Amino acid sequence: MATRDIGIIMNGVSGRMGYRQHLVRSILAIREQGGVLLGDGDRLMPEPVLVGRDEEKLRELAARHGLDRYTSDLDSVLSDPAYPIYADFLVTKARVPAIRRAIAAGKHVYTEKPTAESFAEALELARLAREAGVKNGVVHDKLYLPGFLKLRRLIDSGFFGRILSVRGEFGYWVFEGDWQAAQRPSWNYRAEDGGGIVSDMFAHWNYVIENLFGRIESVYARAVTHIPERVDERGKRYTATADDAAYAIFEVEGGAVVQLNSSWAVRVNRKELVEFQVDGELGSAVVGLFGCKIQPRNATPKPVWNPDIPDAHDYAADWIEVPDNDPIENGFKTQWEQFLRHVGEDAPYSFDLLAGARGVRLSEEGLRSSAEGRRIVLAPVEL
Ligand SMILES: NC(=O)c1ccc[n+]([C@@H]2O[C@H](COP(=O)([O-])OP(=O)(O)OC[C@H]3O[C@@H](n4cnc5c(N)ncnc54)[C@H](O)[C@@H]3O)[C@@H](O)[C@H]2O)c1
């Protein structure tokens, strides 16, 4: 069987996500395993060209991984038919103009989220891609976290019956940068640079909720900036103009209520950095990045409220751990394999720029809800 090369323009590959998740853990890992197997037995082999602003950095990255193609001239590769795919890992602010250029050059597009800073621009990208007839995909990595894959399995097996509610906690303390360096890039805390936890995390929550629980019909959110001043990578103080925490309620088609707290100003007192509790008529589950534990209806304890006697019952011990059962793959790699099959053999793919636009709409309406102090009803999004 034949191996077919497929050139990928990897823009922003020196960044945190571009380098670690997309280049090393996805594209290089796919190359190491011999490409992506297609239905006809052929293999699709990704051939990346590294793109960024700093040629020296790219040269160093390419040498580190035995790659020989890199450039700081995006147009030179956009006009090269050897690269049918454009992939974008830039800071959010730089994304829309770059993707517009890629679509105009007839490239298929794969991108980090959020796809844009505004819903109007996100929708415009989806429309442009449709008009140009190019394939398009947006990362949806949280669905591939081992804990969330187990949740998917539980839902598919009918474990919950009707899902009543979901409560989620996401976040951890991001250092201010004064006496300990911050562990996330400073642009995330400046609204003018595309930062903000609503724009960052609601783009994830949209596809997580849509794909696990149903279409989001309304949002109520309170977004705040708890830490007003931070210190950047160069040791310079700056005003944190973006929200660093959001407390939100999403109502989902079918009646489930999803409450999610997202915060860079919270200290972790849970097993994992993200944790969702799903309560259904027939059972409940608590899922994290890796773990998933369940409590079925017929093994549910019967607590009685009594403030006079200390409660000796160990509630945590009532839960059953769900086994992995299957080997765990890196989610970014799995998404890339799906997208490459979508491009290479037209395999179905639903996480497109329109799905990305729904995520951006949720962020925008979440911020509007917070500013206006009211619940916002969300109509279905159409092109
Ligand atoms: N899927 C996820 O879980 C996840 C997690 C973190 C970040 N992200 C998203 O990934 C994207 C990149 O985030 P990151 O944390 O890797 O950031 P980063 O700051 O580490 O990297 C950003 C990249 O963009 C480049 N860049 C910066 N400003 C630019 C400009 N003006 N023009 C062109 N290029 C520019 C940088 O050189 C770098 O290569 C963001 O959109 C972010 O929302 C996604």
What integer pLDDT is reported at residue 337 of this predicted model? Answer: 98
- CB of 48 within 6 A of ligand 1: the answer is no
Q: How far apart are CA 273 and CA 277, in angstroms?
A: 13
Residue 111 has pLDDT above 90, yes or no: yes
Q: Supply the DSSP string of 2-54, one letter for each residue.
A: -EEEEEEEEETTTSHIIIIIIIIIIIIHHHHTTSEE-TTS-EEEEEEEEE-S-
Average of per-residue pLDDT values in the chain = 97
Percentage of residues in the chain having pLDDT higher than 90: 99
pLDDT, average across residues 222-227: 98
Q: What letter represents residue 250's amino acid?
A: F
Distance (angstroms) between ligand 1 centre and the Cα of 200 equals 11
* Residue 17 Cβ < 6 Å to ligand 1: yes
In short, whether 52's Cβ falls inside 6 Å of ligand 1 is yes
Which atom of ligand 1 lies closest to the CA of 17? 16
For 6-65, the pLDDT digits (tens) are: 999 999 999 999 999 999 999 999 999 999 999 999 999 999 999 999 999 999 999 999
pLDDT for residue 130 is more than 90: yes
> pTM of this prediction?
0.96
Output the six-digit token pair for 48.
């990346």
Which atom of ligand 1 lies nearest, measured to the CA of 200?
43
CA distance 353 to 208: 16
Q: Is the CB of 139 under 6 A from ligand 1?
A: yes
Q: Please state the rounded mean pLDDT for residues 316-336.
A: 95
**pLDDT value, residue 220:** 98
Task: Say yes or no to pLDDT of 1 above 90.
Answer: no
Neighbour-count burial for 112-142, b at 16+ CB within 10 Å, e otherwise: bbbbbbebebbbbbbebbeebebbbbbbbbb
| Average pLDDT of span 172-181 | 97
For ligand 1, atom 4, name the residue with the nearest CA.
Answer: 17
Q: How many whole angstroms from 66 Cα to the centroid of ligand 1?
A: 23
Q: What is the mean pLDDT of residues 277-293?
A: 98
Cα R_g (the chain), whole angstroms: 22
Q: What is the pLDDT of residues 196-216, one digit of tens each?
A: 999 999 999 999 999 999 999
Question: Mutate which of 9, 10, 17 to test ligand 1's pocket (most atoms within 8 Å of Cβ)?
Answer: 17
What does the pLDDT read at residue 39? 96
Cβ 167 vs Cβ 276: under 8 Å: yes
Q: Is 275 in the pocket of ligand 1 (CB under 6 A)?
A: no
